[in-house]
């Protein structure tokens, strides 16, 4: 019997599992993999994802949706696994923190076990949160981070750190081909309008003419990457030679304060919204910017879409969604 790895080498059309495929990033990834001619199995428990994100794919002959929770084992035959299942927004991952850790850790163990049986290459959607509230700026992959292990963000941060540990132990112990991406704040069409992340919050608030909620003084920074750029980075990392395991930062180095983001969203929507300053959540990182030198060097990748342009596309999506028109995404 030929192994999954051997089949992959022979057949350019792969059968691919995407966990979290009905989410924001997962649904864009499913689109791109189908465009490349692959068969895609999307496994998602729809906790933060929605069938709306994959509605256009449900009748596709090479697409299959499975309602499945990755904290339980999954038995499938696939050539490649992308593990994206995990709530990403602070309000969602803090809603049931024990489930968040289980999703990261048990989910990783289940997907790594599947990859081990199939000898399949496996990708992990890790996060800039592994750096916590960083003391090194910008953050290179060699930085070990500054993470509170017992705070409200720990279920996510430590869950993702443990998942990285598991990926590297399966790689060392079982020779699995792994690809670990550390994703920095990414935005775009198909973000959930109520998921509480800053870009979706500000756009929805501006379009509704409500005050934009700024936590703290809005002087904390983030670096925002447009979804299409990130997915291109994902694909290049997955296609890279086996010795390129990561962890690899993927994000846009353009750094903005939250206050600057609010001003830009107000300008681009033409909204008359005001600013509403609220208390800063616990352990909110002060400064965040990826050092993407490794991705540039090894993948020849860097983001192309400037914040202003990406915001305009995202605003158009939310505008259509909120007014009940079909939203181009
Ligand atoms: P999202 O919430 O839109 O997508 C996550 C998906 O996972 C959803 O469809 C959700 O229903 C599903 N899910 C959650 N728990 C599950 C479980 N137990 N079993 C099966 N499915 C489950 O978020 P996103 O922004 O698309 O994030 C995708 C991945 O990328 C996540 O792993 C996240 O941690 C990571 N990430 C995203 C960002 C970002 O800025 N978007 C940044 C860093 C890391
Ligand atoms: N934020 C804000 N107003 C909001 C939502 C978020 O000021 O309505 C801030 C938040 O405190 C953080 C930044 O924006 O400093 C990014 O928040 P997000 O939840 O998008 O991502 P993360 O904190 O995980 O980077």
Q: What is the predicted pLDDT for the residue at 8?
A: 57
pLDDT over 70 at 4, yes or no = no
156 tagged catalytic: yes
The residue assigned the tokens 């709530």 is 87
Choice among 157-161, 218-222, 323-327 with the minimum mean pLDDT: 323-327
Interval 104-117 mean pLDDT: 98
pLDDT over 80 at 228, yes or no = yes
∠237-126-293 over CA atoms, to 5°? 50
pLDDT over 70 at 2, yes or no = no
Structure tokens at 305: 């879409």
Interval 288-295 mean pLDDT: 97
Q: Which of 9, 248, 233 is nearest to 120 (CA)?
A: 9
pLDDT over 90 at 14, yes or no = yes
329 — pLDDT class (breaks 50, 70, 90): confident
325 — pLDDT class (breaks 50, 70, 90): confident
Residue 198 near ligand 1, beta carbon < 6 Å: no
pLDDT over 90 at 22, yes or no = yes
Ligand 2 mean position, distance from CA 198 (Å): 5
Q: What is the mean pLDDT of the chain?
A: 96
Ligand 2 mean position, distance from CA 213 (Å): 10
202: β partners: none
Q: Is residue 179 a contact partner of residue 123, using CB atoms and an 8 Å limit?
A: yes
Q: What is the predicted pLDDT for the residue at 10?
A: 65
Ligand 1 mean position, distance from CA 97 (Å): 14
Q: Which of 75, 93, 131, 156 is catalytic?
A: 156
Bond prior to 138 in cis (omega within 30° of 0): yes
CATH number for region 7-186+226-251+284-304: 3.40.50.720
* CA–CA gap between residue 141 and residue 124 (Å, rounded): 15
Residue 284 near ligand 2, beta carbon < 6 Å: yes
Q: How far apart, in Å, are the Cα atoms of 186 and each of 153, 251, 329?
A: 18, 7, 15
Q: What is the predicted pLDDT for the residue at 12?
A: 82
Domain residue limits, the chain:
7-186+226-251+284-304
* CA–CA gap between residue 326 and residue 264 (Å, rounded): 25
- Ligand 2: atom nearest CA of 196 is 5
Structure tokens at 26: 């997962």
Residue 256 near ligand 2, beta carbon < 6 Å: no
Q: What is the predicted pLDDT for the residue at 221?
A: 96
CA atoms within 13 A on the CB side of 260: 12
Structure tokens at 14: 């792969």
Q: Which of 194, 186, 229, 190 is nearest to 329 (CA)?
A: 190
Q: Between 210 and 326, name the one with better pLDDT.
A: 210
Q: What is the predicted pLDDT for the residue at 218?
A: 98
186: β partners: 225
Structure tokens at 286: 């002060």
Q: What is the predicted pLDDT for the residue at 276?
A: 97
* CA–CA gap between residue 181 and residue 128 (Å, rounded): 9
- Ligand 2: atom nearest CA of 88 is 24
Q: What is the predicted pLDDT for the residue at 77?
A: 97
Residue to probe by mutation, ligand 2, list 139, 151, 197, most atoms within 8 Å of CB: 197
The residue assigned the tokens 């379009």 is 207
Q: What is the predicted pLDDT for the residue at 1?
A: 60
Q: What is the predicted pLDDT for the residue at 3?
A: 61
Residue 159 near ligand 1, beta carbon < 6 Å: no
> Exposed/middle/buried for 201, CB within 10 Å: 0-12, 13-18, 19+?
buried
* CA–CA gap between residue 328 and residue 99 (Å, rounded): 33
pLDDT over 80 at 9, yes or no = no
At 41-76, the pLDDT tens digits run 999 999 999 999 999 999 999 999 999 999 999 999
Ligand 1 mean position, distance from CA 164 (Å): 16
287 — pLDDT class (breaks 50, 70, 90): very high
* Residue having the nearest C-alpha atom to atom 14 of ligand 2: 198
210 — pLDDT class (breaks 50, 70, 90): very high
pLDDT over 90 at 273, yes or no = yes
């Amino acid at each position: 019997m030929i192994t999954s790895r051997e089949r992959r080498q022979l057949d350019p059309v792969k059968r691919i599992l995407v966990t979290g495929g009905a989410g924001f990033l997962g649904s864009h990834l499913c689109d791109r993999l189908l465009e490349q001619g692959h068969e895609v199995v999307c496994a998602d428990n729809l906790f933060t994802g929605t069938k709306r994100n994959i509605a256009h794919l449900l009748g596709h002959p090479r697409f299959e949706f499975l309602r499945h929770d990755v904290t339980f084992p999954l038995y499938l035959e696939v050539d490649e696994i992308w593990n994206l299942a995990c709530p990403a927004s602070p309000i969602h991952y803090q809603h049931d923190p024990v489930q968040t850790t289980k999703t990261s850790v048990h989910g990783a163990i289940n997907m790594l076990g599947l990859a081990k049986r199939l000898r399949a290459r496996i990708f992990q959607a890790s996060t800039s949160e592994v750096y916590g509230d960083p003391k090194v700026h910008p953050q290179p992959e060699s930085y070990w981070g500054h993470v509170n292990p017992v705070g409200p963000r720990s279920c996510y941060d430590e869950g993702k750190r443990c998942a990285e540990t598991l990926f590297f132990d399966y790689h060392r112990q079982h020779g699995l081909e792994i690809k670990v991406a550390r994703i920095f704040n990414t935005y775009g069409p198909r973000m959930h309008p109520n998921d509480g992340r800053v870009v979706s919050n500000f756009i929805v608030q501006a379009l509704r003419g409500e005050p934009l909620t700024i936590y703290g003084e809005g002087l904390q920074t983030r670096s925002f990457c447009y979804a299409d750029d990130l997915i291109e980075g994902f694909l290049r990392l997955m296609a890279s030679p086996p010795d390129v395991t990561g962890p690899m930062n993927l994000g846009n180095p353009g750094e903005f304060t939250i206050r600057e983001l609010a001003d830009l969203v107000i300008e681009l929507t033409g909204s008359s919204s005001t600013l509403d300053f609220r208390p800063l959540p616990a352990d909110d990182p002060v400064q965040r910017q990826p050092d993407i030198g490794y991705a540039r060097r090894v993948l020849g990748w860097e983001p192309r879409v400037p914040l202003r342009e990406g915001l305009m596309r995202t605003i158009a999506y939310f505008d259509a969604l909120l007014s009940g028109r079909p939203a181009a995404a």
